[in-house]
Amino acid sequence: MKFYCEDSDKVLAEVKSTRDGLSSEEAAKRLDQNGKNKLVAAKGKSIIRRFFEQLADPMTIILLVAAAISGGLAAYESITHPGEGEGFADVIIILIVVIVNAVLGVYQESKAEKAIEALQEMSAATSKVLRDGKVQIIRSEDLVVGDVILLEAGDSVPADARILENASLKVEEAALTGESVPVTKFIDTIYLKEGERDVALGDRKNMLYMGSTVVYGRGVAVITGTGMDTEMGKIAGALQDAEEGDTPLQRKLHQLSKILTWLVLGICVVVFGVQLIRAGNFSFANTVLPSFMVAVSLAVAAIPEGLAAVVTVVLSIGVTNMSKRNAIIRRLTAVETLGCAQIICSDKTGTLTQNKMTVVDHFGENEGEIARAMALCCDAEIDTDGNVTGEPTEAALVNWANKLGMKKYDLKNEYPRSGEAPFDPEIADKPDAAELENVKGNISIKNVSFSYSPAAEGGEAPAVLNNINVEIPAGSCFAVVGPSGGGKTTLCHLIPRFYDVTEGSISIDGLDIRDVTQKSLRRSIGIVQQDVFMFAGTIRDNIAYGNPDASFEEIMEAAKRAEIHNEIMEMPDGYDTYVGERGVMLSGGQKQRIA
């Protein structure tokens, strides 16, 4: 089932749950049937297998071959010339070097994995969940399909889920989509367009996915997938099937191993041939065998048995230095890869900068009262150590209050939240909303009053607009003039229905805008803002942004109506002219007309 294409009630029915969550008995039953909400880790390697993998390195193989040849030479000399030669000293030294290298590699991998496992245990995630109609905090790995979870700013999403309730929810999904900008979520059903098979992962805005983080607002969702059945689980499965590549150092060592192999073989052949030529005969006992032993001895001497030890020691020093900087390196050879990085391409926010904001000034007589109000009217949280989680702007407000001696958790106990009016209102179409078609453009504003905040009990809400009556004929130019804060912008926002009027009505061609779909309404309205937004791309792309399927003739007609067509045609590439990030290649007036 495509949960994002179904309404919340159908999703609840599909997962056999309710808005009050599951019972403890049902949850335990599902946990036994489906297992824990964990990603299946790749099967661990035994110590013996890791040891032999260390020995499989080409440089190590050459050393082992050298040890075997040295052992053969030593055995031959002990038989033919008892008491002479170096005996098995070379063999023992080479084997010690090989074994120490392998042991160090296995030790480092095991140590790093144990450290990672310890960190995972320390940071075992918990989630707020509705069980038996009550809010409980349980380990995230014990969640099951059908559980109803409660999320707020700073929480990690523990599993894939369909949103049931939404209060200005914004989620950072960079781990899945690569997009660092938080996604604004909604609860509405997503409908597939004609000919469309599915919705892209990043556009499923009524869903939450494991591995993402809530950065703003709050929400309630029902879990639709756990463990390896999540989108993150699919990625984990693909990673397990991926082959490990060699680091740059490993490739260099492999290359050196090949060179040494050919070099050693060359030495053997040349020395053996020269010895035979100088002897002048081919007696096996007196010429061939001694010549062969001399050639092999020189070849073994050419192998740098100390190189592997030097590499291991240097990399171990690198691992130690990285650990002092709180970085855990699983494989020794991975350290060198970091040293090879010459250019690092990084998104600025949160990487080169700290992604933190700070309150530097305030306007008002009582700083403490302002800071307390700001800290209470946001969803950022602070812990006892002073660490704040939440959207950067809200985190700055909570930090400001904290510096003034007001802890958010103390303020919440003293002033518990009784309700909230989201900053961005949820405007929904009526079930029987009609399409606004063949628009002439006659606008009628009758007895319109509007307030941004709901009325307090027994009182009235402060009105931004009060009993406004205006008739705007089609084709006319109408100006709204007044002082700052008089409601000019608010009135303009009511016409495309960014907000719903508190009283009265707004009609276009006799149709109340609340009786038509938002999409058809806003498709019929053009807005030129003072601060316009342009997308990096061509002029053609920007004009067609609202209707990607528009023909070139339609794009040109729109440009002509905006009095920009002639200027576009004078540009080097016409409609294919690249405008740059936020339209830096254009003037202010050109940007307004194109946008």
Residues noted as catalytic: 347
Rounded CA-CA distance 524/536 in Å is 25
Strand, helix or coil for residue 277: helix
> Of 190, 554, 179, whose CA–CA distance to 545 is shortest?
554
| Total residue count of the chain as it appears in this document | 595
Q: Give the separation between CA 339 and CA 252, rounded to whole angstroms.
A: 14
**Which H or E run contains 377?**
none
Q: 3-state SS of 372-410?
A: HHHHHCCCCEECCCCCEECCHHHHHHHHHHHHCCCCHHH
Angle at 423 between CA 126 and CA 128, to 5 degrees: 10
Supply the DSSP symbol for 502: S
**DSSP H stretches of helix in 43-125:** 47-55, 58-80, 89-122
Select from 162, 119, 140, 201 the least CA-distant residue to 15: 162
Q: What is the DSSP string of 407-423?
A: -HHHHHHHS-------S
Q: With 0-12 CB in 10 A as exposed, 13-18 as middle and 19+ as buried, what is 214? A: buried
Query: Cα dist. 384→137, 209, 340, 373, 408 in Å?
Result: 19, 29, 41, 20, 10
CA–CA distance, 89 with 95 (Å, rounded to integer): 10
CB 396 within 8 A of CB 360: no
Is 390 in contact with 216 (CB distance < 8 Å)?
A: yes
Decide if 512 contacts 527 (C-beta within 8 A): no
Please report which helix (H) or strand (E) contains residue 218, including its range. Answer: strand 213-225
Contact by Cβ (8 Å): 222, 27: no
Instruction: Give bridge partners of residue 218 from the DSSP assignment.
Output: 152, 167
Tokens matching residue 206: 């009524």
- Residue identified by tokens 């194109």 is 594
The string of DSSP letters for 143-183 reads --TT-EEEEETTPBP-SEEEEEEEEEEEEE-HHHH---SPE
Placement of tokens 């949160």 in the chain: 350
Residues of 244-267 as b/e, b for ≥16 C-beta within 10 angstroms?
eeebebbeebeeebeebeeebeeb
Neighbours of 434 (CB within 10 A): 12
Instruction: For residues 92 and 469, give the distance between their C-alpha atoms in angstroms, rounded to a whole number.
Output: 100
Residue 580 carries which side chain, given as an amino acid letter? G
CB distance 257 to 59 below 8 Å: yes
Rounded CA gap, 100 and 94, in Å?
10
Q: Which one-letter DSSP state was computed for residue 452?
A: S
Which residues in 479-506 are b (16+ Cβ under 10 Å) and which e? eeeeeeeebeebbeebbbbebebbebeb
